Amino acid sequence: MKDIPDELLDRIAVRLKAMGNPFRLRILHAIYDGELSVSEILAQVGGSQANVSKHLNVLRSADLVSARRDGVSVFYRISDATVFAICRTVCDSMLEQASSEVATLAEARARMFAAS
């Protein structure tokens, strides 16, 4: 793993950075089930059209979404579904960590009150 090219690490970082924003994650989950227009995405995630468009451009630059124009409307869809596998992995890890913390607290609590 020592000889990983900088270019590869840079490309990975771009994708992770694009995913590292809660609003962009909302957008990704809005189009999880299929293609939506900007106005449909806006209706689901809120905010301004300028803000949604800015975030969609970041997601496009990271190759996480793709777009197609139909007349005056632009429709966005997921172009790399592994984004959801990454989200699931992070959620699973957080759940495992939280479960471990709960178990540790429960054990400590039991010891603390067993001495009383």
- Dump pLDDT digits (tens) for 50-96: 999 999 999 999 999 999 999 999 999 999 999 999 999 999 999 99
User: Do 41 and 68 belong to one domain?
Assistant: yes
User: Do 50 and 2 belong to one domain?
Assistant: yes
The pTM (predicted TM-score) of the whole model is 0.83
Return the biggest CA–CA distance within the chain: 74
65 forms beta bridges with: 78
SS3 46: coil
77 forms beta bridges with: 66
Where in the sequence is the domain holding 19, given as residue range(s)? 1-80
User: Do 101 and 67 belong to one domain?
Assistant: no
Q: Which of 26-30, 58-62, 64-68, 98-102 has the lowest mean pLDDT?
A: 98-102
User: Do 74 and 111 belong to one domain?
Assistant: no
